[in-house]
Structure 1
């Protein structure tokens, strides 16, 4: 437990430091994020994720304080890692464990990153529907991610506790993901719209806050005649948070199909979310070109759901995390290539 707290605490400290530098140094003033800046931001966060992957495959035993073969077996059983250890050969067993840990992180990271693309479609729609100035996109997404970090933490560790106590919940997650994937496929061509007046969050805010009718620069709150008001930009932030909450219901169970270690689920989830901001600015103007991506994500959710439903049989057949990673990469590659090779016809 002390090792987990130190490892986890160090990770959170790093994330807080990076976010502070991001907001306090590189984005001190509101501005339109350029394609070059978005590319650099994306590359930096991907590099951070790859560095963390290297840490896991070289020092991953430190996460749970594994000191001997007995503790390794205990942790492997506790988190249901699908690996074969070498009795009597602790160095080889720990190497296998750490390589698998890194692979689970990488696969979970890719799954969350892929599912986040669908979130980008909705974010673009939110900003355009509420007519948010482009220079304020980064500010809303920054504070939206702070809220997402807290929500994901609660979701993941509550989910891990439930899975640990009630193993059958994994089948419930699997069935839910299959259903979600099927529904996404059926509705893949439907044009999404946001009713800015009748949205649930807008109605909630109107009932519980004093809301100003107009934007006031980058302000979320404003004091008028001694009374505190919220601005439409704050309403947009609430909708972004609500949207992330909805997407978390899909993405977190999906990563639990890859690993049952809540720390790896959290690490992969957070790195993907942090990269989502920069990816948003990269894809905001070209996301419409990847029209087969929703189809690919639908197949991805169905695959993950089926994997959760039949994980016992798949493990007996030798289906490993590496096989999952290959299938996931294949699904995403086909959907992206198909979008570029068969562009959507203009109507």
Structure 2
């Protein structure tokens, strides 16, 4: 797939424009978006992703369109898993609802920057060393095993890393969020950081950890840097509105971790098979490709991912419905 420089430039300009609109909306009127407002934005971003895939189909063919849709769906599902941790972070630091949009948008911008760097590094590695797929595949299987061990999402999914602990200890932080800015001026004239900065650091470092999973996963679906980048863009751009739209529904997706574990394990095996097929390591089959290693077509990958996530979602909602009938009183949380 050949992508000209002007297409890359146009894509980046469009991304900056969307972010600018988001910043203007939040900067002008910080608020908690309603379900109706969030639904419109999520529908817009999903519609744009579908339309973009159609454009890829028309200009580059069905194969690359299939790779985009499969990659976008995978990244979108992993982004939903991110929301569990975001909910925990917001609750842990008691961020007022009207300021959560700002934190999420900053987190999304940081995620786009970090993933852009990871995509560039991953593309460079793959172009030079095909054996890196062995590492990517093993890492995804390892991640899948960890997800299975974790089971359902809970408070243990988020642990304060050393950067967060260092920031809380050394930075002068006020006890109030003020008007939602990163700093506040006290009555004595002293400038303090607000807890919003600590929350932003928590969101940003969490995004960095999630990128370590998502980038190998998307490269297991397509090796085209442009498709990898755009799939990540469309998966992240509606994340802020999706956070408010799903709300309490996140707590009902109790089996999502298992579904994502299956997807990551599948992609990890796919990467390992592809590494065998294009093998260049001298200690494996004398440096020749292992011809019996099958190549999993993109249509099969798409069906497996949709089917796995669909089953996990339906099973989660069915279990939540059964639990609600069994215990109609909502659980009380301290």
Range class of TM-score, shorter chain: 0.7 to 0.9
1:293 pairs with one of 256, 270, 286? 256
Aligned length: 309
d(CA) in 2 for partners of 1:191 and 1:117?
A: 14
Q: TM (normalized to structure 2)?
A: 0.86
After superposition, the C-alpha distances for 1:235-281 in whole angstroms (9 at most, x for unaligned) are 10111111111001001100000011111101101110112112111
Which residue does the alignment assign to 1:127?
Answer: 90
d(CA) in 2 for partners of 1:298 and 1:326?
A: 16
Query: How has the CA–CA distance of structure 1 residues 221 and 188 changed in structure 2, closer, same or farther, with 3 Å as cutoff?
Result: same
Which residue does the alignment assign to 2:282?
Answer: none
After superposition, the C-alpha distances for 1:134-183 in whole angstroms (9 at most, x for unaligned) are 11111111111111111111010111101111111111011011011011
d(CA) in 2 for partners of 1:208 and 1:314?
A: 57
Asked if 1:218 corresponds to 2:180, the answer is: yes
Q: Does the CA contact (< 8 Å) of 2:270 and 2:296 recur in 1? A: no
Query: How has the CA–CA distance of structure 1 residues 39 and 211 changed in structure 2, closer, same or farther, with 3 Å as cutoff?
Result: same
Q: Does the CA contact (< 8 Å) of 1:177 and 1:302 recur in 2? A: yes
Three-state SS of the structure 2 residue aligned to 1:270 is: helix
d(CA) in 1 for partners of 2:267 and 2:138?
A: 10
Which residue does the alignment assign to 2:283?
Answer: none
Asked if 1:200 corresponds to 2:162, the answer is: yes
Q: Which runs of 5+ in 2 are unaligned?
A: 278-289
The CA deviation at 1:195 is: 8.2
Q: Which runs of 5+ in 1 are unaligned?
A: 61-97
Which residue does the alignment assign to 1:325?
Answer: 302
Residue pairs, 1:92-111, within 5 angstroms: 98-111=61-74
Three-state SS of the structure 1 residue aligned to 2:192 is: strand
Which range moved further: 43-52 or 226-235?
A: 226-235
Q: Does the CA contact (< 8 Å) of 1:126 and 1:194 recur in 2? A: no
d(CA) in 2 for partners of 1:157 and 1:18?
A: 22
After superposition, the C-alpha distances for 1:304-324 in whole angstroms (9 at most, x for unaligned) are 111111123799645211110
Superposed CA RMSD: 2.4
Q: TM (normalized to structure 1)?
A: 0.83
Query: How has the CA–CA distance of structure 1 residues 241 and 131 changed in structure 2, closer, same or farther, with 3 Å as cutoff?
Result: same
